[in-house]
Amino acid sequence: MSHGIQVKRPVFGPRVARIGLYAFLIVSAAFFLLPLLLIISNSLKPLEEIRQGNLLALPVRPTFDAWITAWKSACTGLECGGVRPGLWNSIKIAVPSVAISTLVGALNGYALAQWKSRRANLIMLLVTIGLFIPYQAMLYPTVKILSSMGLFRTYAGIVLVHVIYGLPYTTLLFRNFYVGVPDEISRAARMEGASFLRTFWSVILPISTNILVVVAILQFTGIWNDYLLGLIFAGNDNLPMTVQLTNIVNNARGSVSPNVNMAAAVITAIPTLVVYFLSGRYFVRGIAAGAVKG
Amino acid sequence: MNLRRFTSTISVLGLLAGSNTALAQTVDVQHYWTSSSESKAMNTVADAFKSKGGKWIDSPSADFDAALAAVTSRIAGGEPPSAILMTPNSALRELAGSGQLRDFDDLAAEGGWQKVMSPLVWSKLNVGDHLVALPVGIHAQNWVWYSKPLLEELKIEEPKTFEELFSAADKIKASGRIGIAIGGEPWQEVGILFSSILALGGPDYWNELIVKRSPQALKSPVLPQAFDIFRKVSTYADPASPGRSWNDTTNLVVTGKAGFQFMGDWARGEFLAAGKVAGKDFGCFLTPGEKPSYAILIDVFAFPVNKDEDRIKGQTLLAQSVMDPAVEEQIAEVKGSVPSRTDVDTSKLDVCAQLGAKTLATPGAAVQAAYDALAGDLNGQVTDLATQFWTDKSMTTEAAVESFSKILQSE
Amino acid sequence: MKTWLHRQTFNPDITVAVFFGVVAIFFYGSILWTGYMSLTRSTLIPSYEVIGFDQYVKLFTNYRWLVSCLNMVIFGVLFIVGTLSFGTILAILADRRIQAESLFRTIFLYPLAVSLIVTGLSWRWVLDPVNGLQGLMRNAGWESFTFDWLTNPDRAIYTLVIASIWHSSGLVMVIVLAGLRGVDNDLWKAIRMEGIPLWRAYLQVIFPGMRPVIASCVVLLMSEVIRGYDLVIAMTKGGPGIATEMPAKFAVDFYFARVNLGLASAASIVMLLLSLLMLLPYFYSEFRKRT
Amino acid sequence: MSSVSIRQIRKSFAGLTVLDSVDMEIAPGEFVVILGSSGCGKSTLLNVIAGLDDCDSGQILINDVDVSSLEPSQRGLAMVFQSYALFPAMTVRRNLSFGMEIAGTPKAKIAEKVAWAARLLQIEALLDRKPSQLSGGQRQRVAIGRALVRSSSICLFDEPLSNLDAKLRAETRVELKQLHATLKSTMIYVTHDQIEAMTMADRVAIMHKGRVEQFAEPQTVYEKPASLFVAGFIGSPAMNFLKGHLERTRRFKTHDVCLDASSYGFATEPTAPEAILGIRCEDVNVVERGTPDSMPATLAFTELLGADALGWFDCLGQRFSVKLTVDAARTMQKDVGFRFNMSKASFFSAATERRL
């Protein structure tokens, strides 16, 4: 669809209805914002204020102490260094994992879209089932395979695991998109002598920016928020931030500071939130381009 | 090409450049102690270990399920940690049974460890006559904690029986506070049930019922009485109880918003962290019964079989550090547990810890807690039953006892 | 050989084969292994001695498992219907040329960036009867205000529905919005010419045309229902009692804390079969459409 | 200039025969149009020639060399697609040069070729635009340009004009014909539009249900359709048909009427008497009712087409179209008679539907 032309839609007639519409939107917006505001406001309270007051009350004496503690001095094991040590590891894991799983998903999706037969449908069915396997059930076999490759608890290993676990999802999204791309474009490239990979790289990928953004965002949130895979496959030198977050929030038999927990949760979520706030527009455009069409 | 090997070789080379010893004594410790008091306790061990020249690699995960997943994965993947913090439960027995754990029989003989541990503790640490776990400290499950100022304010004596406990709770409730603070999570609820059974039946009955699972014990009138008490306790749950964590619940007692709490002695750490003093700000007693009883939960280190020479040496060094009486004493101080060695000086510990140590030393008082005694699945099923009985008020005591018997006889 | 190689220069088959090989090894390998384990008495460490279908018998006589399955159905239906309706309503409103559309859109979408763990924790805090909404209302003087769903065994499951709707309606909104923007303008003209009321236009003309879009939404949401674990753990831990237990949590509990690999594997296999069952209508329509 | 031979091409898909033993010999420099309604297999045939679709059996020969196992790009072909299939993310210049880039053509040579094609098609001003910034006609030209720069001796067209409006289509038709005259390359052109076929083709291949019904010059196809299908498909309005019996005496009997077919040149001797007479609208003479050797006919209505007119009559229980002058149409009586110009008629076997 064209973005330049304002699509004319029938509009609710009476002014009252228009007011009702905005009222509904604003109430919904409040519903959506409530939890975020709650966490931020509580992370700014000193501990006594949390113990005494209501969680929904605004901070009386706002302070960044909890944020500072969460960032660099909350205990996460033997060390008490907050979530800071995991930040670089999380970035180091997420960036290549997202890039590879997205690109490979695009390639697979394109390859599958070239297959237009019952067989292709069957493969799609089998791949979709991959989305429904509880991944705890996959841990043990994955460990066995990776350790036989010598990649268990290495940096390359955790990236590989994220890529493979993400592939059914990314492939599915890209395939749905590429099914809508006219076949003749691929055929034309083939007439020009372009190989399959060349066609994908020079012709298909450049027209996929919108969907690439969508898939990359979804993958980024998934991988950034992962905890269990990082714990098991990353190895001690590469533990992501979420491991520290869990160690702060989730302690079993020790004292609890909710304000630090909330601050740690917010700090860990900042990168994904920023990604959404900055690229929300592309996200919508990408979905409009056909990411999730049947 | 084994990448991992390659990188570790590189890092070992790097270490060699900086250290004098040709072989570092390294341990990679998988544990779940991440709160500040736990961290202090773990640091006690680590400092002792490091001071003897060891190199400590920390692998913490506070999520217990995830920690167990990580351990089994690492063993399966051929990269086991050198030491795992756990409890002597069925997982330990299974790991040991399949030959995954290193035994310390030689060190134990050398150090005369059996003599300085209570027989029950010793038996929990051994699987098939091999010492496969080393204790870091001992907790008991069947404690009751109370707010001293609140009881003094309402002129209530420390209860000696369940009747006194309930009437005290009623008084507190009448004064607008919470009588018994309860965290409505299944494991907290089932703890109360087990404490009731132990208190009413005593240690011998407990061993018949939970450890031997004898059919006679299941027919005893103790069981329905315990369920009745359990149900009675549930009536004191305040509206915010469901899903409340144990430490939030303890905090209610700490701040005097509630009178009593049934909880293991890790709760003591919470009082101490709030700057409270045992005997002055808070009081403690074991669930009241005719005979003293003490349901022990042991924190232990288990040592998976490792192949690297420096890891094996590291394990030995860590074992020695853990069993060091001074270290045990320090851990007890920061974490609220009781030392597992009987030759540790307990005079510096507070009244609650001393009460614990004294009961533990009383012959016949110590029993294993259900969590360790019952196979993982049985304990889980009883937990499911307890929480169902707790929430579903229409379930009769008879029905609960019958389900309970069925579960215990199912394996 | 040379010509064969030449013919491969434009051939997606290799890519598909490699990809499917990886999926087969990791995903189907895992399914096979899980299936195998479900026939054994494995507890913590895999045992390879087959004992038959005992674990399945145990599973289906396990009260908690049955409650979990029932909970999943209740939760799944409410969550999918709720998210679809709410997301669709938001999409319709956002499609009506409103002011600050992108601001609203961002607000509705950001929960997707938040992990389910944090989602669960924050909703737990909001709905906490003492410290959350109910307490706030009561402190403000509305003494009889009661909203204790989180701690009420009959209602707790609805709080999960609320939190998950919060998390996912943004995605549905965007997808449906994209679908609405793709509706041919001539169709809107025809609707106006015929004088069809707006609600009927959406219900009977616009949405039936967007069936595939909605079907993909349902599949996405369904996979969340089946795998739903993080949210439950963070919010209710399955309680009060076992009021909000879910199959995925059951499986994870038995994999690790309950040290019963065999039973957990049986549960995983049953979950997989259930999801296949739920996917069947979708694939049936896919097959019919394409051939 | 290259020849193309299509030999015994068969293809079926999901139990449906798409191409059924297609044979065609295309001479160097020839402009061949493959004509048929949708679903007749014409586009599939083109894709098989290009190598984009595989066939089940048969051979494609270019200059007497079997290319059946070669990649499309190695067959020395160029192709223009119905939707143009321009590469959306590339400028027009890149669209033109992409294929040469892949082939490793030197930069200078590429630039020269692009400039040549752009001049020829008058798209020089568009070279730095993206396809989305072009009109339909401009895209069309770029698509042709992309085929031209390959300087292949064979060019394939898959309904290239179907997305253009009527006026543009007529113009482009002429241009394409001129282009063919200039380049003298072999062109194979698929369309469903018979005007394009009649005006542009050296020879037309008419396809029906995966078979080539007739492959001949346009005028031959019109005058001497090889089958009942071709007769009905070519020409507007369609040919008039009458069922009857052909007697040994070369008389055609239908509804008590006997027509003399002795002036008709039979290609084959009929094996059975059942036959169908086909006669075009311009080969029917309207005479006064009762004229000897005429059949009675009744006027239903007339259509004025500007230059001439069509009259629709009922005769022997059937509807006939007849070409008339405008004046005749205006003054036409209701009851008239018909006489057929039998030398221009066609006879088909009722059983095989082939021309007799």
pLDDT category at D34 given cuts 50, 70, 90 is very high
**Most C CBs within 10 Å: which of A56, A100, A147, as the mutation test of the C interface?**
A56
The whole-chain average pLDDT of chain A stands at: 82
pLDDT higher than 70, residue D53: yes
Number of residues that this document lists for chain A: 294
pLDDT higher than 80, residue A288: no
pLDDT of residue C9: 55
Pairs of residues, one from chain A and one from chain B, whose beta carbons lie less than 8 Å apart: 129
| Complex confidence, ipTM | 0.77
Rounded-to-integer distance, Cα C263 and Cα C278, Å: 23
The minimal CB distance from C239 to the residues B68, B98, B243 is found for B243
The minimal CB distance from C256 to the residues B69, B242, B377 is found for B69
For residues B243 and C240, the answer to whether their CB atoms sit within 8 Å is yes
Rounded-to-integer distance, Cα A118 and Cα D14, Å: 10
pLDDT higher than 90, residue D190: yes
pLDDT of residue D9: 92
Rounded-to-integer distance, Cα A224 and Cα C116, Å: 12
| Domain co-membership, D159 together with D301 | no
pLDDT of residue A117: 63
Annotated domain spans of chain A:
15-63, 84-291
pLDDT of residue C289: 57
Q: Using the beta-carbon criterion (under 8 Å), do A77 and B39 form an inter-chain contact?
A: yes
| Domain co-membership, D36 together with D70 | yes
**How far does A63 lie from chain C, in Å, by closest CA?**
20
| Domain co-membership, D42 together with D62 | yes
Rounded-to-integer distance, Cα D224 and Cα D280, Å: 11
DSSP string, B78-145: T---SEEEE-SSHHHHHHHHTT-B---HHHHHHHTGGGGS-HHHHHHHEETTEE-EEEEEEEES-EEE
| Domain co-membership, D283 together with D203 | no
pLDDT higher than 50, residue A5: no
Q: Which chain B residues are closer than 8 Å to C255 by Cβ?
A: 65, 69
| Domain co-membership, D174 together with D291 | no
Rounded-to-integer distance, Cα C109 and Cα A278, Å: 12
Chain D CB within 8 Å of residue A287 CB: no
Q: Which chain B residues are closer than 8 Å to C43 by Cβ?
A: 90, 94, 376-377
pLDDT of residue C1: 35
Q: With 0-12 CB in 10 A as exposed, 13-18 as middle and 19+ as buried, what is B11?
A: exposed
Q: Which chain C residues are closer than 8 Å to A111 by Cβ?
A: 12-13, 15-16, 19
The minimal CB distance from D102 to the residues A182, A187, A198 is found for A198
pLDDT of residue A290: 58
Rounded-to-integer distance, Cα C47 and Cα C67, Å: 29
For residues D230 and D278, the answer to whether their CB atoms sit within 8 Å is no
Partners of D337 in beta bridges: D287, D296
**Does the bond joining C240 to the residue before it have cis omega, within 30 degrees of 0?**
yes
**Most B CBs within 10 Å: which of C127, C231, C255, C258, as the mutation test of the B interface?**
C258
Taking alpha carbons only, the member of B85, B34, B71 closest to residue A78 is B34
Residue whose pair of structure tokens reads 């909104």 in the numeric block? C173
Q: Using the beta-carbon criterion (under 8 Å), do A193 and D77 form an inter-chain contact?
A: no
Q: With 0-12 CB in 10 A as exposed, 13-18 as middle and 19+ as buried, what is B12?
A: middle
Instruction: Calculate helix-pair angle for C261-290, C211-227, nearest 10 degrees.
Output: 180
The minimal CB distance from A136 to the residues C178, C217, C252 is found for C252
Q: Which chain B residues are closer than 8 Å to A156 by Cβ?
A: 3
Q: Which chain A residues are closer than 8 Å to D52 by Cβ?
A: 187, 190-191
* Beta strands at B54-60 and B25-31: parallel, antiparallel or unpaired: parallel
Tell me the per-residue pLDDT of C150-185, one tens digit each, with 9 for 90 and over: 777 788 899 999 999 999 998 888 888 888 877 777
Taking alpha carbons only, the member of B143, C16, B308 closest to residue A119 is C16
Distances (CA, A) of A61 to A42, A64, B147, C126: 11, 10, 30, 21
The dihedral region occupied by A277, where left means phi > 0, alpha psi between -120 and 50, and beta the remainder, is alpha
| Domain co-membership, D192 together with D285 | no
Helix (H, G, I), strand (E, B) or coil at D9: strand
Residue whose pair of structure tokens reads 């215990």 in the numeric block? B408
Q: Which chain C residues are closer than 8 Å to A165 by Cβ?
A: 26
**How far does A185 lie from chain D, in Å, by closest CA?**
5
Q: Which chain B residues are closer than 8 Å to A147 by Cβ?
A: 76-79
D to B contact (≥3 Cβ pairs closer than 8 Å): no
For residues C51 and C41, the answer to whether their CB atoms sit within 8 Å is yes
Q: Using the beta-carbon criterion (under 8 Å), do B377 and C263 form an inter-chain contact?
A: yes
CATH number at residue D186: 3.40.50.300
Q: Copy the structure tokens of residue A217.
A: 């965002």
**How far does C13 lie from chain D, in Å, by closest CA?**
15
pLDDT of residue A116: 67
**How far does D108 lie from chain A, in Å, by closest CA?**
19
- The residues, any chain, with a CB within 8 Å of residue C249's CB and separated by 6 or more, are C68, C229, C232, C233, C238
- Residue in C with minimal Cα distance to A219: C113
Diameter over CA atoms, chain C: 86
pLDDT of residue C278: 81
Taking alpha carbons only, the member of B131, C6, A113, C251 closest to residue D69 is C6
| Domain co-membership, D52 together with D11 | yes
Chain B CB within 8 Å of residue A136 CB: yes
**How far does A207 lie from chain D, in Å, by closest CA?**
6
Torsion of CA A136, A142, A146, A152, to 10 degrees: 10
**Most C CBs within 10 Å: which of B32, B61, B71, B72, as the mutation test of the C interface?**
B72
Chain A CB within 8 Å of residue B79 CB: yes
Q: Using the beta-carbon criterion (under 8 Å), do C259 and B185 form an inter-chain contact?
A: no
| Domain co-membership, D197 together with D311 | no
Rounded-to-integer distance, Cα B394 and Cα A104, Å: 56
CATH code, B143-295+357-409: 3.40.190.10
The minimal CB distance from A11 to the residues C19, C97, C191 is found for C97
**How far does D356 lie from chain A, in Å, by closest CA?**
42
Q: Copy the structure tokens of residue B270.
A: 């919470």
Residue whose pair of structure tokens reads 């012959």 in the numeric block? B363
pLDDT of residue C222: 87
Partners of B377 in beta bridges: none
- The residues, any chain, with a CB within 8 Å of residue B328's CB and separated by 6 or more, are B136, B137, B339, B340, B341, B344
Most confident of A89-103, A200-214, B91-105, D334-348: A89-103
D to A contact (≥3 Cβ pairs closer than 8 Å): yes
Q: Using the beta-carbon criterion (under 8 Å), do A202 and D47 form an inter-chain contact?
A: no
Q: Using the beta-carbon criterion (under 8 Å), do D98 and A202 form an inter-chain contact?
A: yes
pLDDT of residue C158: 92
Domain, as residue range, for D108: 4-227
The minimal CB distance from A195 to the residues C10, C107, C185 is found for C10
Rounded-to-integer distance, Cα A112 and Cα D45, Å: 24
Q: Using the beta-carbon criterion (under 8 Å), do A127 and C23 form an inter-chain contact?
A: yes
The whole-chain average pLDDT of chain D stands at: 88
Question: D232 lies in a domain?
Answer: no
Pairs of residues, one from chain A and one from chain D, whose beta carbons lie less than 8 Å apart: 67
For residues A102 and A170, the answer to whether their CB atoms sit within 8 Å is yes
pLDDT higher than 90, residue A4: no
Tell me the per-residue pLDDT of D204-234, one tens digit each, with 9 for 90 and over: 999 999 999 999 999 999 989 999 999 989 8
Domain A84-291: homologous superfamily in CATH: MetI-like (1.10.3720.10)
Tell me the per-residue pLDDT of C66-113, one tens digit each, with 9 for 90 and over: 999 999 999 999 999 999 999 999 988 888 777 787 888 888 888 988
* Residue with the larger pLDDT of the pair A100 and C228: A100
The minimal CB distance from B4 to the residues A150, A227, A228 is found for A150
- Residue in C with minimal Cα distance to D52: C10
* Residue with the larger pLDDT of the pair B103 and A228: B103
CATH code, B24-138+298-355: 3.40.190.10
Taking alpha carbons only, the member of B66, B126, B137 closest to residue B96 is B126
Chain C CB within 8 Å of residue B159 CB: no
Q: What angle do CA C34, C252, C116 make, to 5 degrees?
A: 120
Chain A CB within 8 Å of residue B270 CB: yes
Average pLDDT on C110-127 reads 85
Question: D356 lies in a domain?
Answer: no
Of all residues in chain A, the percent with pLDDT exceeding 90 is 16
- What subunits make at least 3 CB pairs under 8 angstroms with B? A, C
Helix (H, G, I), strand (E, B) or coil at D129: coil
Please say which residue of D204, D227, D250 terminates a domain.
D227
Please say which residue of D227, D245, D272 terminates a domain.
D227
| Domain co-membership, D109 together with D85 | yes
| Domain co-membership, D121 together with D218 | yes
**Most C CBs within 10 Å: which of A140, A179, A202, A231, as the mutation test of the C interface?**
A140
pLDDT higher than 60, residue C214: yes
- Provide the number of structural domains found in chain D: 2
DSSP symbol at A6 = P
Residue whose pair of structure tokens reads 């629709």 in the numeric block? D312
- Residue in D with minimal Cα distance to A2: D132
pLDDT of residue B132: 93
pLDDT of residue B8: 47
Taking alpha carbons only, the member of A75, A25, A72 closest to residue A267 is A72
Q: Using the beta-carbon criterion (under 8 Å), do A294 and C212 form an inter-chain contact?
A: yes
| Domain co-membership, D222 together with D241 | no
Q: Copy the structure tokens of residue C137.
A: 């209302």
Structural domains of chain C, with CATH: 58-290 (1.10.3720.10)
Fold equal for B24-138+298-355 and B143-295+357-409:
yes
Rounded-to-integer distance, Cα D224 and Cα A80, Å: 96
Q: Which chain C residues are closer than 8 Å to D72 by Cβ?
A: 10
Q: Using the beta-carbon criterion (under 8 Å), do D83 and A202 form an inter-chain contact?
A: no
Taking alpha carbons only, the member of B361, B384, B379, B354 closest to residue B369 is B379
Phi, psi angles (nearest 5°) of residue D250 = 60, 35
Q: Using the beta-carbon criterion (under 8 Å), do D81 and A198 form an inter-chain contact?
A: no
- Residue in A with minimal Cα distance to C108: A32
Average pLDDT on D314-318 reads 84
Tell me the per-residue pLDDT of C6-29, one tens digit each, with 9 for 90 and over: 444 556 777 778 888 888 888 888
Q: What angle do CA B190, B195, B196 make, to 5 degrees?
A: 100
Phi, psi angles (nearest 5°) of residue D200 = -100, -30
pLDDT, one tens digit for every residue, chain B (411 residues) = 344 444 444 444 444 444 444 457 889 999 888 777 788 888 999 999 999 888 998 888 877 777 888 888 888 888 889 999 988 887 888 888 888 899 999 999 998 888 888 888 898 899 988 999 999 988 888 999 999 999 999 999 999 999 999 999 999 999 999 999 998 888 899 999 999 999 999 999 999 999 889 989 999 999 999 999 999 999 998 888 877 878 788 888 998 899 999 999 888 877 887 888 988 999 999 998 888 899 988 889 999 998 888 889 999 999 999 998 889 888 888 777 888 888 887 787 888 888 988 888 888 888 988 888 887 678 888 988 998 899 888 999 999 999 999 988 886
Residues 252-311 of D with CB under 8 A from C: none
pLDDT category at C212 given cuts 50, 70, 90 is confident
Rounded-to-integer distance, Cα D48 and Cα D19, Å: 10
Question: D354 lies in a domain?
Answer: no
| Domain co-membership, D190 together with D285 | no
**How far does B59 lie from chain C, in Å, by closest CA?**
18
**How far does C86 lie from chain D, in Å, by closest CA?**
36
Instruction: Calculate helix-pair angle for B376-391, B397-409, nearest 10 degrees.
Output: 170
Average pLDDT on D94-99 reads 89
Tell me the per-residue pLDDT of A13-24, one tens digit each, with 9 for 90 and over: 567 777 888 888
Alpha helix ranges (H) inside B24-101: 36-51, 64-76, 90-97
Number of residues that this document lists for chain B: 411
The minimal CB distance from D52 to the residues A185, A187, A194 is found for A187
pLDDT of residue C166: 93
Annotated domain spans of chain B:
24-138+298-355, 143-295+357-409
